[in-house]
Amino acid sequence: MDTATLEKLDNAHVWHPFTPMLEQARERTPVIASAEGFHLIDSDGQRYLDGVSSLWCNLHGHRVPEIDAAIRAQLDRVAHSTLLGLANEPSIQFAAELVRRVPPGLNHVFYSDNGSTAVEAALKIAYQYHQQRAVRPSRRDLFVCLSGAYHGDTIGSVSVGGIDLFHSVYGNLLFKTLKVPAPAGYRRPAGMTAADWCSHAIRELERTIVEHHSRIAGFVIEPLVQGAAGVLVHPAGYLKRVRELTAEHDILLIADEVATGFGRTGTLLACEQEQVRPDLLCLSKGITGGYLPLAATLATDEIYGAFLAEPAEGKTFFHGHTYTGNPLACAAARASLALFESNRVLDNVREISSRLSKRLANLADHPHVGEIRQKGSMVGIELVQERAAQTPFPPAARIGHRIALAARERGVVIRPIGDVMVLMPAPAMPVDLVDELCTKTFAALEEVVSHP
């Protein structure tokens, strides 16, 4: 089918996520037909460097021989069978391998199919756990989350979110939560340093937990980095303090590592960097290397034990999805996890991180760059109209979007969050391609901000 026909059908029938559809129809969005390594190829044969890892999920590149082979081998056995009343080999094998790689004690894997459902399952598990646990069962009905949080788009995950642009329209559908200020942010009250703001955030965290601890079921956090908030990087020690407070007050810590997991921050999981073991761990995005939808919510023995009882007692976790533990996805996930050792992916992330830091230093004094935020291979570049006053560009100017279009003209795919330019190279991307990503993105940035 030719490109013009594909574009016509796309505009007529496909509703794209997070996309103003009138604009989509005007801008001739590339139709991706194939991929090779770290490049996407459209229906006209144009190649694009995948600068955001296909929305933060691709780890090893596209058409990876080991993952392709694992999926093909599984196709010769069975593509899908339910986990309701049955088991399958890949889901068992991957669960066992995953448990060996995460912080000790997270021994039980509940499968779903995306980041939102992983968080949704964690919320329901936490709520039910408090009612059923053996010691001091209680009805706790509040969750604590951070300002600027993003945990997905289902109603439960939106309830623990904090991005007004995405979430405000659904306000009347959401359950009540307690929000505490994120310990990092570009715009702060006048006279407050970053250290002052972090101290304020910790005081509010402590006050909220002490005041409401008897009603709090869990604290939901993206460890170290709030991705969709614009790659906000938390100060060292904040996550550890959250863990101390939640443990002290008998509150479950839910770590949403959907975006930060599988090497993005420099370690397999972000929580490793502060020696934190959450009570519930949510994983998705990179779990299959970016191949197939899969998610996992991992729980401790204590939490899992609260659901063990005779059927008549009604303690079962009545939650699940049709494609839970899909064999093809689990086969891909096993192959992806094995590549971390065989290809020394975490070593490569350290090289990427170093190269990004050097290249980003060239933007440090740019008059339209307000702040550069980086953790591992995760980068956010905050663009402003006036640097000293932190004046944002008018929303109608759509600076971030225009830079993405200018980068696309140069053969690079990136996706901004408002006027925060996000770079998210795959953890296994060669350093020379990271250089290319920076060079072309910075050129696109300069082109657009010179004519705002």
* pLDDT tens by residue, 17-31: 999 998 888 888 999
Percent pLDDT > 70 in the chain is 100
Measured between alpha carbons, how far is residue 136 from residues 130, 132, 180, 300 in Å? 8, 9, 27, 18
Report the C-alpha gap between 223 and 238 in whole angstroms. Answer: 9
Report the C-alpha gap between 88 and 329 in whole angstroms. Answer: 12
Q: Which residues contact 32 (CB under 8 A, 6 or more apart)?
A: 40, 41, 42, 43
Sheet holding 39-42, edge to edge: 32-36, 39-42, 47-50, 412-413
What spatial distance separates the first Cα and last Cα of the chain, rounded to whole Å? Answer: 38
Q: Which residue has the higher pLDDT, 152 or 134?
A: 152
The domains found in the chain, sorted by start residue, are: 31-60+344-449 (3.90.1150.10), 68-342 (3.40.640.10)
Q: Is 83:91 a contact under the CB 8 Å cutoff?
A: yes
- Rg (the chain; Cα; Å): 22
Query: How is residue 414 written in tokens?
Result: 């990136």
What predicted TM-score, i.e. pTM, was given to this entire model?
0.97
Single-letter code of the amino acid located at 355: R
Q: Is 159:127 a contact under the CB 8 Å cutoff?
A: no
Report the C-alpha gap between 422 and 445 in whole angstroms. Answer: 12
Condensed to tens digits (0 to 9), the pLDDT of residues 56-80 reads 999 999 999 999 999 999 999 999 9
> Does residue 268 surpass a pLDDT of 90?
yes
Confidence grade of residue 394 (pLDDT, cut at 50, 70, 90): very high
Condensed to tens digits (0 to 9), the pLDDT of residues 327-365 reads 999 999 999 999 999 999 999 999 999 999 999 999 999
pLDDT for position 427 = 98
pLDDT for position 87 = 98
Query: Any idea how long the chain is?
Result: 452
Condensed to tens digits (0 to 9), the pLDDT of residues 422-438 reads 999 999 999 999 999 99
pLDDT for position 165 = 79
Report the C-alpha gap between 287 and 283 in whole angstroms. Answer: 7
Q: Is 30:42 a contact under the CB 8 Å cutoff?
A: yes
> Does residue 452 surpass a pLDDT of 80?
no
